[in-house]
Copies of this chain bind each other. A is one copy, B any other.
C-alpha cells in the first residue's frame, strides 16, 4: 500500500477506548456502520438465543477485526463486549469500501480477512471431543498470542470458564473437568486464570485434527 493510501486509511480511522470489562462495542440490532480492529485487550462476540443460552462466536485479540459478519445486513447480528481494557480502531465501512476500490491491496486484505473467518467458523463446527476442542482452543490462543509477541506457553485467560464453555459448546462443568484432567496428566498448569502449557506437543497432537495440520 502506498503512502497516500496509508494516509487515506489514517483519515477514516476513529480511535475508540479505553473500554472496560463489560462495556459493549456494539449490540445485536445496532445499525451497522463500521468494522473495528482490536488494538489492545480482548473482545468477545456472542449472541443470545431465544432459549436464553449464550453462544460465543469468538474471542478477538489485538490485530483482529470484528464486525465482518455484519456487512450482509443493516444491523449487527451479534454483540461485542470487552473482556478487559480494550482499545479499538473503528473504520466506517462505507468509507473503507470506497477506499478499497482505489487501493486493490486493501480490497484484497478485506477479502482475505473474511475468507479466513469463513474457514475458522467451519473448524470448530466439527464434532470433536471435549478434549480436542479444549486443546485446539488453547493451542489456537497460544499461537495467536505468540504471533503478537506475547509468551506462547504462559498467559492469562481473559475470559471466564463460562465463556470458554459457550464458545466450545460445552457445559462449564465440563470445561472445569477437562482443565483439571489436563493438569493431572501434566499437559497444563492451571491457577485460576493463569495458564502454562506444560506439554505443548501433546496438546498440539490433540488439537491437530481440529486445526487441520
Interface residues, chain A, CB within 8 Å of chain B? 47, 49-51, 55, 57, 68-73, 77, 97-98, 100-102, 104, 107-108, 110-119, 121-122, 124-127, 169, 208-209, 212
Contacts A69-B118, A101-B102, A114-B118 given; 7 further ones with Cβ under 8 A?
A50-B209, A51-B209, A72-B119, A101-B107, A111-B114, A125-B169, A127-B169
List the B side residues contacting A113 at CB < 8 Å.
72
* Known contacts A49-B209, A98-B104, A101-B101; is-contact A121 B125 (Cβ 8 Å): yes
List the B side residues contacting A114 at CB < 8 Å.
68, 71, 111, 114-115, 118
* Known contacts A72-B112, A100-B107, A111-B97; is-contact A55 B118 (Cβ 8 Å): no
- Complex Cα gap A208–B51 (Å): 10
13 A-B residue pairs with Cβ-Cβ distance under 8 Å, sorted by A, are: A49-B209, A50-B209, A69-B119, A71-B114, A72-B111, A72-B112, A72-B116, A72-B119, A97-B111, A101-B107, A110-B111, A121-B122, A125-B169
